[in-house]
Structure 1
Amino acid sequence: MQDIELLQRRVERERKARLQAEAILEEKAFQLYQVNEQLRHLNENLEQQVIEGVTKLQDSEKRYRQLIESVQDIIYKISPEGFFTFVNPVVEQRLGYSEDEIIGRHFTELVVPEYREKLINFYWEMVHFQKESTYNDFPVYKKNGEIAWIGQTVRLIENEGNVVELVAVARDITEQVATDDALRTTQTRLSTLITNLQKGVLVEDENRKIILVNQLFCDLFEIPAPAETLIGVDCSQSAEQSKHLFKNPEGFVKQINDLLTRQEISINEELHMVNGRILERDYIPIFLEGQYRGHLWKYADVTEQFLARERIRKSEEKYRGIMNNMELGLIEVDNEDHIIRAYDRFCQMMGYTEEELIGKVASILFLPPEFHGIFEQHQSIRSSGRATSYEVQMIKKDKSRIWVILSGAPIMDEHGNIVGSMGIHYDISARKHLEQELALAKEIAEEARQAEKQFLANMSHEIRTPLNAIIGMTHLLFDTRPSKQQYEYLDILKSSADFLHSLISDLLDMAKIEAGRIEVQNHPFDLVGLLRTTQRVFQIKLENRPIELDLMIDGRISGNYLGDDVMLNQILLNIIGNAEKFTEEGTIEITVKLKKEDNETCWIEFKIADTGIGIPKEKLDLIFQKFKQVNPQGHKHKGTGLGLSITKQLVELQGGTLTVKSHEGEGTTFTFTLPFQKSDTEIVKNDYTIEEGTANLELCNLLVVEDNIMNQRYISGLLNKWNIPFTIAIDGRKAVEQAHKQHFDIILMDIQMPNMDGYEATLTIRNTNNLNQNTPIVALTASAMIDQKNKTKSVGMNDFITKPFTPSQLLSVIQRFLKVENLPTPSPVSLSEPTSTLLDFSRLKELYGDDNEYILDMMETFLTDALPDFSGFQALINTNDWVTLSKLAHRLKPSLGMVGLTDLEKTMAEIENQARKQPEAESLQLLWDHVNAQLEIGVKEIKREIEKLKL
């Protein structure tokens, strides 16, 4: 029983223990459940926090990237080895490189070569010494090749004590570098300028510490230290230390302290030193944005200027006293012409006291009304700062007048402003009276000279008129087969007439020289060619006489020279003509050589030696005097006594000299030297030769030398119709100029022309170096006489055409000289039947064919250009000027034939021939009246024909 009870108690205890264990287990299970729930909630919270953290991290990373991309600085990373691992987009904006073009490249590839080593050392020191942050700047290449300056701040990124990356924030500082460089340059220039300024300069800051000082300042103040060692030194006691150098030491210190207190600009302050030197001081305070930042002292040694001013002051005082005692009256006036001072001599001159003049208006008080305009004119000039001088009359106090030279000069203040003027008056009344007397005498002399000139002109005309008749009739009588005695009389008559003609020409030349109407013309000319032309002219003249004419030219003389070839030609003609006149037989030698060269001037010596009769020694001094006859008495060649005098003056006009040596019976040598300049114009010698078979007419080039407008139109019309290029020269001189400019295939040369006739032009072209020396020259002449043809040959012409010529004749000449085949032939005659009684239509058909436009042009040209010249005939007949009349008739004669007035052309030829023979005025008057009446009818018919041709 006991055992059962024991068992029951044990079972009970076990049951209780089991229940208690179950309760504990249940409680533990609940706690475990609670823990599990907590863990679950914790996991859920952790997951949420992770998600939120990731989201925040992503947002932060996005904001960080946006921040990096939004900044204007370049941000990049490089590895410790120097390779780019990251760049922000700004690098492309600043340097032009994209991210792909940068990543992986070494940083040295972008750096300017001379800065690479420096930058490598910079990064090495950062990594080696583990500097957390450092700044550096350097230049890099942009993608387009330009250079940009970069300023960067670099930081190290470490992991467990090792540098894994370098991060840099860089900024483009190109403009800042340029500005800094410009500033440094400006500072250097300013510093250099001040250091080397010829004035002592000291610049102090607001604390009176030296910023800049130059050596001259140290020298002026006897500072032994070099200027560069004084930078930063305190100048507070400098005035006390330097005051012993000045005559007023305490005043020197006080003035410096006052200037520093007032801080106002002070310039040109004068300081006197103990050693006698004078200094001029400037004080300039320096303000920056309203704040006082220091000041500048500038000291200039003006001792010399001071002494000079003193000398001037003393000199002014001295000369003021002198002027008061001179014959010059001085007054000073203000800008309104009020007198502010009158000197003693002026008061005496005008009869006033100074007190009476002060404040008065000078121009109103002294000047007569008629001189007010002159005064105003000079016053306006003086107001611009210039001095003037002029003559006026002035009224004295007693109302009498005096003449004065008034010299006025502006008076200026220290700022350059005109504050008045000084008038200096010199009494010239006595001189004016003398001038009036001289003017009257000059007027009388001028009237006498004009009377002399008028007498000379009248006499030359009155003598020439009968003289032309004498010469003309003499030539006609020579053609009448006179007897021996008659021939002798005619020869005497001819010699006397030639002498008179030469005398009149020389008188007129001398009158021109004395009146100064002859000027030296400088232009390029062929000196050698001119000499050979002159030789040829005289060789032709001496053909039948036992005289040899030799020309020797220095080999150094070549090319063109600048000078007056016309004047030289006249000198040569006068001297050689004189030698030819007084040489019966023997030689005339012309020697030309280069005497010397002076810089660009060539002195050419011309020597003309003859074997003539010579000049007596005692008369050599007379040969260049006017109207002096030094030939042996009774010699058959009488001179005018003016030729050599004119020649000497022409030589001297050109800056040359003329001398003569002679022995009676042995000959004479004239020597003259003239200065010429070598011309830069180079003329190539023409080697042109006519080739057989030239077939292209349009490649030919003709020169037409013709002064008559109708002949010009006629020839040019034909050449234009045949497509032949051509150039027109209106006289022989123009022809020579054209011959030097371009090559021609043929030259058509008129004979009678102004300035230079066809003979002279041809001689010049043939005997000078030019492009047409061998070009065929064909004469255009109205004369068909054999002697004229022979003369054209002798001067170098190849052939001649007699005016009026037909188109066929002109074509024939062109064909012959150019060897041109298949030339165009004249157009067939197709004009309608004429209704006129004066116009020769057959002539018009012969000249122009059926080219109505050509005929129309020629007729209109005749009316506008040729017809007005016919009005000059009557005046020439009235004055018996037969020479001019003959030339006018010769010139206008072809014009009539070219418009079909053939009969009038023949009558005009008769007028020309009679004028050459010195006719009676009545006879020529009848011929001209006939031409004039018929011309009036012919003009009307021409005008009618023009109207028909225009339809």
Structure 2
Amino acid sequence: MSAAMFHFDRDTFSTLFPFYMVVDRHGMLRHFGPSLHKMLPELQEHTLFETYFQFKNPIIPQGKAIDFEKLTDALLVIHVITQARTFLRGQFLKHHEEYLFVGSPWVSNIEELHEKKLDIADFAYHDSSVDMLNMLRSLEISNSDLKYMVHAISGQKKELQRDKEEIKKLSLVVSTNENGVVLSDLHGEIFWVNPSYLQMTGYVEEEVLGKTMYDLGVMEQTDKNTLQQMMIAFRKAEWFDCEVQHKHRDGGAFWARIKGQPVFDQLGKFIEYYTIIEDITPKKEMEDRLRESEQRLRTLILNLHDGVLLEDENRRILLVNQKFCTMFDIPVDPEYLIGADCSNSAQESKSHFKDSEGFVQRIEEILAQKETVIHEALELKDGRFFARSYIPIVIDKVHKGHLWAYQDITLERNFQENLNYEKEKYRRIIENMNIGLLEVDNEDNILLTNQRFCAMSGYTPEDLIGKKGVDVFLNEETRRLLTEKSELRKSKIADSYELEVTDSNGEDRVWLVSGGPNYDIKGAVIGSIGLHFDITETRNLERLREELLAKLEQQNRQLNEYAQIVSHDLKSPLRSIHSLITFIKEDNDQAFNSVTAQYFQLIQEKVEKMERLIQGILSYSRIDHTQYKTERINLNQLVQTVISIIEVPPHITIRVKRELPTLKGDAYRLQQVFLNLMTNAILYNDKAEGWVEIDFQEEPHQYTFSIRDNGKGIHEKDVKRIFKMFESLNPNDRSTGIGLTIVKKILDDMQESIYLESEPGVGSVFYFTLQKNGCRTT
């Protein structure tokens, strides 16, 4: 990565070079570091460099203009004019059109540092000036100690021998200590460690000796403030006890509790430092988990929909959530209530409750008993309901406080009241219905019955409750059925069935039962509920209806047979009469006058009409008794067959507008439809040049056919009459009044539709539908 990629803001740069200053090419101060300003409080921006500073190396005479360009990239010594013994040592670097000085004060001892109102925190961590001062101080102390030791060494030899044995014992104890133990000299360099420290950090002894605790333990995660406190305490030969993250040899970290204790000689002189390092990572992890758990619990409580108040044993508030404040109209943030005394809160809150004095007395009673209270209902003056719960807080058998929870149960209470009301309403409805209710458990024991069921069965509730239904009113045949139904209820299956029973009077009855499983609040089947309707009379009526239908069916069959016989017996004499009239006319053609011939012609026409009428009636009666056959029908062929059957007068033209489709259906019935509609169009055509047109329209699932003519037409008021039996709107000897009735019956049976559009004097159009995939039948 190129150095040109690094950019620093002023705060970051001040951390690295706290004694920097920036001047422009005219020698004007632009800005400077915080430590430099601390040492020189009088220093101000936008003033000349020469006001405060004078170069000592190189020497620049007073009054001579300073060429900062020539001073770059050289080691400089700058004298502070206002402080005789204060010098800055560093260098100037050109930065754009300005010149940046980076350096630090040049001091020779610690006392001089204090005179300049500076301390270690004012220097950058990488600045070696402080270390050099510490080394000088240590050297001075060492020289002094050396003189003292030379003077006193002879008198301490015997004492040294005794101490040697004690040190040996102490060393053995320290070596076996499970915590790390480090001994360092006045400069912080380690000269002895125990095995526990090596095991704890992963270092070997050779890597530790001669190093400082700073070198071995400090890492990016180490808290700088705590580290600074430890260093200050060390330099002042004071004890310290801190918790920091300590570096491990493999690059990891562990939490360490470091306790440092200075060691003094008999004269009270600081000679070394004794440090104990304890691995508290498990403790820290536990504390973190506890804090996380506490924070989650706190967040949960603060966001609960219930009002929560936590007090200590002296009734001082430890925790309260916003819901509690809202419920009791407390117009402050919950945080402001922490530490408040709750002794008088009941008196302040009692005005909300309907039984205000009882509210206070109950709280005092709960506090005196210190027993758990769950969901105690309280009614408020505004119609709301609260549920109060209380839990005493006990730790190690010592009472430590109280936890109160208030829940707004107004909706729940209203719901329960409405539920009870609805339950009572439906109970009254069921009581007044003509339906018997019976509730049983999973063993078929009767739990509940209504008055109607008792009336149906002839038993009283006392006769039924607690007994099994199969033992009271069921016969052997229905016992098996009811047992099967009970198993279905346990499988959560509901159904309806008929049950033959015997009432208390010994009469056989038939009940229609609609049964379903009964559940508890958890959804488990706890029995079944059956609704019973006495259908004995209905069953008797059905049996009577079936008997009547059988008789009607037999009579209908006999009538059809009679109609066939009668039609044959009627048609035979008619044919004979028709033949006789024909013979008479032929034999007496010259003897009859015109009137007599006309009468014979009328007789012959009436006989033919009667024959057609009998044939029409037979065709109509035969529709329901002819089996419906489904086959593929080419309607073009079917229409041509109809045209060949009917008598088409010379002045009438029949045309098929387009090729007709092929579909599935009953050929006989469709032929009857086309035959009667086309015959009807021909019979009532009064035009000199008449025509009948057959067409169709294709739709997604059906065809709509049309048979159009230019005949007389039909008035709108007569449209509904044309499909009735024997209705003929215009006198015509050839019309029987049955043809359109046959068409309507056939299409109705196939669930198809037929309708008419007509204009008198212009003509008529009959429309009817046929399904593509086969005609439907009823």
TM-score by length of 1: 0.41
Between the two structures, name the one with larger relative contact order (CA 8 Å, sep ≥ 6): 1
Q: Looking at CA atoms only, which structure, 1 or 2, has the larger radius of gyration?
A: 2
- Structure number with higher helix proportion: 1
- Structure number with higher strand proportion: 2
